[in-house]
Structure 1
Amino acid sequence: MATRTTPQGTSAARDRLLRTASDLFYREGIHAVGVDRIIAEAGVTRATFYRHFPSKEDLVEAYLGEEDAGIRGAFAAAREMTEAPADLPGLVVEGLAADIAGRHTRGCPFINAAAEYPDPASGVRRTVASHRDWFRAELVDVLTNAGVDRPAERAGELVLLRDAAMVGGYLDGWDAVSEAFRTAAGRTLG
């Protein structure tokens, strides 16, 4: 994750930059959006941009950090919705489905970013890898606590199903993949 940026909430200008960039990066692609456009649409100066984000890559890492925080928050909210660990995997699947249908209609921001940053040693790719490692581990934990057989194997399957559903939802529309995702996830959960 970005380590050279100012922490969230320390500046209204930083928050505007991040919101503007996040929207543009997700809708249009990271490399398609230049720093000048982000600065103009956020209504800040170039100096303000570089004070908060020493490079565009730092901004991209912060954008992915926000996406990561949103998914972590969704897992935490799902955990609060139920006291029964056996119910949590189903809530997670439904949460993933709702996210794909409503918020991430243009695919996975992590997959999209990885496609634009092919060097696995880049900060962006390390941020993507960190998120994916966390996501897989979180699924293993949820499935283990629910008593699902072979939780690591099943978590890997759910990661692949989510990836496929996000890409399929973008290419074919969520209505075309929704039932297949839920059915496959249900089989994976046993």
Structure 2
Amino acid sequence: MNPETNVPAAAVVSPTAKSVPATSSDRIMAVAYELFSTRGVRDVGVNELIERSGVAKATFYRHFPSKDSLVLAFLEQRDKRWTMDAVLSEALRRGSTPREQLLAIFDVFGDWFAREDFEGCSFAKVLVEMGPVHPLGQASISYLAKIRGHIQAAAEAAGLVRPEEFAYSLLVLMKGSILQAMEGDLQAAKRAQRMAVWLMEHHGA
């Protein structure tokens, strides 16, 4: 996510931050992360992945027996780099209480939406592309459920009533704000944050 104006750039983890890959597997994963996060899954072919990563076809398939196996590895890395490092960890840093941390998610989103490399939610995009029955769609559903679990835990810590229902509702606001931002609404995060305040009041905070 974009840093706050008073936060050193080095202290913020970007979900699309690039580093120098050390191995052929790392190079493939770095290319896959960039392409899948920005263009989705179906639009990216194995030949392009091989060409962009500079490895032989045999090397590619030695590390990843199929394109689907690479997408699964991408989703796992996306969960760590985007969900955990870029969103949840940053929201924890910005808020001093569970309630503030839940609302800070939308502050983090606001910075992210303003970035030139804002790419949307990969889990939702893969789910829409592949469908809920496909293994990749199922994996995306699992990662979205994991996010919901983090929200529910924070809601419980904040003393909200019906924390599971709250988590489902907040995730609606999160996903909706991302889609709205993809339409060009740079105030989507603020709008969703205001609704999140009302939601918290409904759940007793």
User: TM-score category by the smaller chain?
Assistant: 0.7 to 0.9
Corresponding position of 1:94 = 107
Corresponding position of 2:125 = 112
Corresponding position of 2:18 = none
Corresponding position of 2:84 = 72
Instruction: State which drifts further: 101-110 or 32-41.
Output: 101-110
Corresponding position of 2:169 = 157
Q: Distance in 1 between matches of 2:132 and 2:156?
A: 34
Offset, 1:106: 3.3
Corresponding position of 1:148 = 160
* Structure 2 residue 47 is the aligned partner of structure 1 residue 36: yes
Contact 1:105 1:169 (8 Å CA) reproduced = no
Q: Distance in 2 between matches of 1:106 and 1:86?
A: 27
Deviation string 1:124-168 (CA, Å, 9 cap, x unpaired) is: 122112111111111010011011232222211110111111111
Percent identity of paired positions between Structure 1 and Structure 2: 26
Change (3 A) 1:76 1:107: closer
Query: TM-score of the superposition, structure 1-length normalised?
Result: 0.83
Q: Distance in 2 between matches of 1:116 and 1:72?
A: 24
Partner SS state of residue 44, structure 2: coil
Deviation string 1:8-64 (CA, Å, 9 cap, x unpaired) is: xx9621111111112112222311111011110111111111111110001111111
**Count of residues in correspondence between the two structures:** 179
Instruction: State which drifts further: 102-111 or 29-38.
Output: 102-111
Offset, 1:104: 6.9
Change (3 A) 1:95 1:189: farther
Instruction: State which drifts further: 104-113 or 127-136.
Output: 104-113
Alignment partner of 1:19 out of 30, 33, 46:
30
Deviation string 1:66-124 (CA, Å, 9 cap, x unpaired) is: 1111212342454355553343222233233333443873321111111121251x321
Q: Distance in 2 between matches of 1:130 and 1:13?
A: 28
5+ unaligned residues in a row in structure 1: which ranges?
A: 1-9
* Structure 2 residue 65 is the aligned partner of structure 1 residue 58: no
Contact 2:106 2:190 (8 Å CA) reproduced = no
Q: Distance in 2 between matches of 1:84 and 1:27?
A: 33
Structure that is richer in helix per residue:
1
Partner SS state of residue 54, structure 1: coil
